[in-house]
Amino acid sequence: MAAYGLYNHIRANRVRSIFLIVGLFFLVYLLSFAGALFAAVMTEGDAPLDYLFGVARGYFIGAIPFVTVGTLIWLWIAWQFHQRMIDAVVNGHDVTRQEEPRLYNLLENLCISRGIPTPKLKIVEDSALNAFATGMNEKQYAISVTRGLMDRLDDKELEAVLGHELTHIRNGDVRMMVIAVVIAGVISFVGELIYRGIFRSGVRGGGWSGGRSSGSRGKGGGGAAIAILIALAIVAIAWLLSIVIRFSLSRTREYLADAGAVELTKNPDAMIMALRKIENRGEIAGATAFVMEMCVDNPHSGFVDIFSTHPSIERRVEALVRTAGGRDPGPIAVPAYEDEPLGEIGPEEPEELEEVEEVRPAPAPEYEQPLPRGPWDYPRGNPFDPWQWGPWGPRR
């Protein structure tokens, strides 16, 4: 399953990016109408519901130019400065070849092999094991690697992770994820403003305090409470739609990025081993949920895996074993100490040596002074030496 260069997937991501931007404006306009409805209640008081809707419609039409300009400014700021914002959150910084020659050479070799520009390299000073890619175009693309990942992975495993992030860049996943993060940020910000405005103003005594009297608006009234409930419902719907947009981003992008890394490195075992080492060790201190969604692994990836932004490590490893023929070593134990190699628990204790009693050599037996030896190396005077006896008695 070759993921790198899947033009259908790349084209689909470009179409998704366009729809995401269109969806952003739709949700902002939806929230703007909720704000206009709230403003109508504030200015007109407890008027009939249809009258409040008419006033809100006028406010909304008048606010459209300002809302559009404000959203475009927000997009421009996110386009230009999203990397700096992420670096400030996760404590990341640029590195050069002189500072990190090992990491830089691995990434450059992968880019040369495919003839693509080399993205910027960044280091996140954190002991977690994770990495992510950011950027909206070739001039902005960057790959951030945590210090813990560099320390715990060997060259082949680190190369596989870099190949994973390069595939995300090549397939257009990075641009799409950044846009999704911007959408979520805008909706959360505007929705919270409206929500706080409604509840800080408050409904007292079942009617809306303040505003004009509804007597001059004709018979009836009591539309303020319903209008406020409708405004709150619109805010909730917009927030839910932003969540749906985030989860609509196909989780197959992670499978494709894993496969793309294998195609780049020709080493499925390295990718599998890297995933096993990253498993349950990827939580970056200070990183928001939106940043974690762009990482190799998101430890907090949703409820019962249905709403998760990443498939589980187990499923990703199974896919690599099934399609690329890799070997799975199984889950790796979490070390108890940061400086301990992965796969071991607790510090390595020195082996206790058994106390061995000192064995002293036995004293040499005392022998009598050897007798002088003859020419055949036998001591003279030994009565049991046959060479000392001749046919006629002892030799002299």
Nearest to 225 by CA among 48, 36, 32, 34: 48
| DSSP reduced 3-state for 285 | coil
- pLDDT, mean over the chain: 77
Catalytic residue list: 165
Nearest to 308 by CA among 243, 231, 355, 382: 243
Q: How many helices (H) and strands (E) does the chain have?
A: 11, 8
What average pLDDT score do residues 88-111 get?
Answer: 91
Helices 173-201 and 155-171 sit at what angle, rounded to 10 degrees?
Answer: 70
Q: How many CA atoms lie within 13 A of 260 on its CB side?
A: 28
Q: How do residues 8-40 score in pLDDT, each as one tens digit?
A: 766 776 777 777 778 878 888 988 998 898 888
Domain assignments of the chain as residue spans, ordered by start: 1-331
Does residue 382 have a pLDDT over 60?
A: no
pLDDT reported for residue 146: 94
| DSSP reduced 3-state for 296 | coil
Nearest to 316 by CA among 185, 308, 383: 308
Q: How do residues 217-233 score in pLDDT, each as one tens digit?
A: 554 567 788 888 898 89
